[in-house]
A and B are shown apart, each in its own frame.
Chain A
Amino acid sequence: MGAQVHGTQSFDKAKRAEIKFSEEAMKTVQTIISKYPEGKQKSALLPVLHVAQAEFGGWLSPEVMDYVAEVLRIKPIEVFEVASFYTMYNLKPVGKCTLEVCQTSSCWLNGAEDIVRYIEKKLNIKVGETTKDGMFTLKVAECLGSCGTAPMLQCGASFHENLTFEKVDALIEKYKNEGRLRSYTDKDYHNTL
């Protein structure tokens, strides 16, 4: 799987004690759990981890994973083994906006490498890094299903497609001005299919 660093974060008991879903997030979590038969609440793990990641700063700390285990009444290791398998879960801190540029075939055929290089230069970071102000993290992603509207990047719930340098400039400006955390679970999203 991806080159995520895991197992390097230490566990802080004091931090753990402070972690709790907001009332609204807890309601969402309960709705998710209710989709599955009695006793099968572990099935809710993937969607609940998305909620947790959005709720607790864009990444899953050991304390957050421990909390999710408690909420779903499963073992912490069951949470970690899932969180470390799937690419959408961050096991270390990221910027408020993670720009994920698709780099697979059709996107590559349409200039994805140039988009990556352009963003690297513009934000003065390399792939995998976060800007000093904590605003942007740049990642490359494997096929995101926008092959017909390549090149593209995903940021939170939004798909930005048919990218040009001008479009990249505009969306970075927009995200910087808004300055908020972008999550996959965002209810507002942009797409151009």
Chain B
Amino acid sequence: MGKKLLIHNDHVPNIHTLDVYRAHGGYASVEKALKTMTPDQVTDEVKKSGLRGRGGAGFPTGLKWSFLAKPEGVPRYLVCNADESEPGTFKDRYLMEKIPHALIEGMITSSYALGAKQSYIYIRGEYFYVARIVEKAIEEAYAAGLLGKNILGSDFSHDCSVQVGGGAYICGEETALLESLEGKRGNPRIKPPFPAVAGLWGCPTVVNNVETIAAVCPIVMMGGEEYAKIGIGRSTGTKLISASGHINKPGVYEIELGIPVEEFIYSDAYCGGIRNGKKMKAVVAGGSSVPILPTELILKTAKGEPRLMTYESLSDGGFATGTMLGSGGFIVMDEDTSIVKNLFTFSRFYHHESCGQCSPCREGTGWMEKIIKKILDGKGTEADVELLWDIQSKIEGKTICPLGEAAAWPVAAALRHFKHEFIDYVKNPKNIKDVKHYFRLNNLQEA
């Protein structure tokens, strides 16, 4: 097993409480930052660490921080994106539920670096009970003088609050999240201006994912350069991977970036291989929106090199033969899986979650869902398969926010790598029937 920096204490009893968390070294980064570092020094360490946004986009965090406008007399905000909704992703839930103080510690240290006197943690509404856990931890932090006025006797004061959402995937997009935080519909904003200039209530704002903010604590403690030694190239540090699907050991794993995909899937330290002795058919490596890859391309690049769990290796070959690390939502499918049907669940999802602002996405997601449904109902034609390709190609790049791409990419990738399955369904509708009865747990009989 590699180094763990975020969830190494996840099995310590009561690690969710402040006392136990502090007994295991918790809040040391707040002490170190506030007592021995200037805010700019903290930002510098984050820059040196090479930390990249863990929500999915992978944008360098230190760079994002350096864009924050700092006009005199205007409040600045840090907003934590805990709207985790990308299908296949449940790492932030795990982190907040098990070790809520790791997030709060990161919020304080990061806010100190950014000069934010107030921060908000926007948690998806369905995680209401998680919000309660985080709120309880915030109360503990206030009582211990880690939040509020003059934290640990310094002249830095900070308030942190939780807001719950109302159930909308789109609020994971940072400007939609800010709209939602302002009590509005989650319609993404046109950029520029970016939140770093005009974010929450028009003030300069940094929006970071839960895992990104939690990673700031070990970076401050070990130093950015040490952190950057973990991983390969521009993929530095550790990453939480949510593993699900047809594997023996689903769950959240913290990996050192750079381990081979094959090791991650088959090692008992991680997924433990494909369950029921089946063979693997395909993997969605970074949450529902990244391209699905067949076994041969997820294990090895087109050049025949072992595929690694890094931003660069997973995207090697572009979308023709590669994919993306994304949010680290790792969905594994066995040999019996219908790629068409799995795609249908994705397309239904994106149709449901489109905010409706941009026509290509609003209309296109619905059309794609309908056509895939038609194929699954045994009524599809080869022209429908072509039409599906045509529609997805006309969404990408034509919408205000990336939900358009997120909806188009899985369709494109399924057609790119598994077109034969669509054609088979169209030509031999009887083959579809088997599909409908396949999906159940071992211990379930036919309902």
Chain A contacts for B443, CB-based, 8 A: 164
B439 touches A105 (CB 8 A): no
B129 touches A158 (CB 8 A): yes
> What is the chain A residue whose CB lies nearest that of B332?
A109
Residue in A46, A87, A113 whose CB lies within 8 Å of B183: A46
Q: B319 at the A/B interface (Cβ < 8 Å)?
A: no
Cα separation A165 to B442 with both chains bound (whole Å): 12
Cα separation A17 to B376 with both chains bound (whole Å): 51
**Max chain A Cβ within 10 angstroms of own Cβ: one of B129, B169, B329, B356:** B129
CB distance from A106 to the nearest CB of B (A): 4
> What is the chain B residue whose CB lies nearest that of A74?
B183
Chain A contacts for B85, CB-based, 8 A: 143, 145
Task: Please classify how large the interface on chain B is, using the bins under 10, 10 to 19, 20 to 34, 35 or more.
Answer: 35 or more
Cα separation A112 to B441 with both chains bound (whole Å): 9
Cα separation A99 to B251 with both chains bound (whole Å): 24
Q: B59 at the A/B interface (Cβ < 8 Å)?
A: no
A86 touches B345 (CB 8 A): no
CB distance from B271 to the nearest CB of A (A): 10
Chain A contacts for B129, CB-based, 8 A: 157-159, 189, 191
Q: A21 at the A/B interface (Cβ < 8 Å)?
A: no
Q: Known contacts being A43-B181, A46-B164, is A145 close to B439, with CB within 8 Å?
A: no
B94 touches A104 (CB 8 A): no
CB distance from B97 to the nearest CB of A (A): 6
Q: Mark A15-50, 1 if CB is under 8 A from B, else 0.
A: 000000000000000000001010010111111011
A105 touches B169 (CB 8 A): no
Chain B contacts for A143, CB-based, 8 A: 85-88, 169, 288, 349
CB distance from B253 to the nearest CB of A (A): 10
> What is the chain A residue whose CB lies nearest that of B288?
A105
A165 touches B180 (CB 8 A): no
B245 touches A86 (CB 8 A): no
Chain A contacts for B126, CB-based, 8 A: 88, 141, 144-145, 154, 184
Cα separation A21 to B126 with both chains bound (whole Å): 23
B163 touches A109 (CB 8 A): no
Q: Known contacts being A104-B349, A109-B331, is A88 close to B89, with CB within 8 Å?
A: no
Q: A175 at the A/B interface (Cβ < 8 Å)?
A: no
Chain B contacts for A110, CB-based, 8 A: 245, 439, 441
**Max chain B Cβ within 10 angstroms of own Cβ: one of A47, A103, A117:** A47
Q: Known contacts being A37-B201, A82-B183, A87-B166, is A148 close to B125, with CB within 8 Å?
A: no
B163 touches A85 (CB 8 A): no
Chain B contacts for A141, CB-based, 8 A: 126
> What is the chain B residue whose CB lies nearest that of A35?
B161
> What is the chain A residue whose CB lies nearest that of B163?
A47
Cα separation A1 to B166 with both chains bound (whole Å): 13
A187 touches B288 (CB 8 A): no
Cα separation A85 to B187 with both chains bound (whole Å): 10
A109 touches B245 (CB 8 A): yes
Cα separation A163 to B284 with both chains bound (whole Å): 23
Q: Known contacts being A50-B164, A145-B90, A147-B89, is A106 close to B245, with CB within 8 Å?
A: yes
Cα separation A144 to B83 with both chains bound (whole Å): 11
Chain A contacts for B356, CB-based, 8 A: 1
Residue in B94, B183, B440 whose CB lies within 8 Å of A43: B183
B251 touches A86 (CB 8 A): no
CB distance from B116 to the nearest CB of A (A): 13
Chain A contacts for B341, CB-based, 8 A: 108
B288 touches A104 (CB 8 A): yes
Residue in B118, B167, B349, B354 whose CB lies within 8 Å of A86: B167
CB distance from A165 to the nearest CB of B (A): 6
Within A56-81, the residues touching B (CB, 8 Å) are 72, 74, 78, 81
Q: B184 at the A/B interface (Cβ < 8 Å)?
A: yes
Q: B244 at the A/B interface (Cβ < 8 Å)?
A: yes
Cα separation A43 to B161 with both chains bound (whole Å): 12
CB distance from A98 to the nearest CB of B (A): 12
Q: Mark B213-249, 1 if CB is under 8 A from A, else 0.
A: 0000000000000000000000000000011111000
B444 touches A164 (CB 8 A): yes
Chain A contacts for B21, CB-based, 8 A: none
Q: B353 at the A/B interface (Cβ < 8 Å)?
A: yes
Question: Could you jot down 30 A-B contacts, CB within 8 Å?
Answer: A1-B168, A1-B353, A1-B355, A2-B352, A35-B120, A44-B183, A46-B164, A81-B184, A86-B125, A86-B167, A87-B167, A105-B88, A109-B246, A109-B337, A109-B439, A111-B441, A111-B444, A115-B447, A141-B126, A143-B85, A144-B126, A145-B85, A145-B124, A147-B90, A147-B242, A147-B245, A157-B129, A164-B441, A164-B443, A193-B90
Which residues of B pack against A, CB within 8 Å? 75, 84-90, 93-94, 97-98, 118, 120, 124-129, 132, 161, 163-169, 180-186, 201, 242-246, 250-252, 284, 288, 329, 331, 333, 337, 341-342, 345-346, 348-349, 352-356, 439-441, 443-447
Across the A-B interface, give the 6 residue pairs with the lowest CB-CB distance, nearest first: A86-B166, A45-B183, A88-B167, A147-B244, A148-B250, A87-B167
Which residues of A pack against B, CB within 8 Å? 1-2, 35, 37, 40, 42-47, 49-50, 72, 74, 78, 81-82, 85-89, 103-106, 108-115, 117-118, 121, 141-151, 154, 157-159, 164-165, 184-185, 187, 189, 191, 193
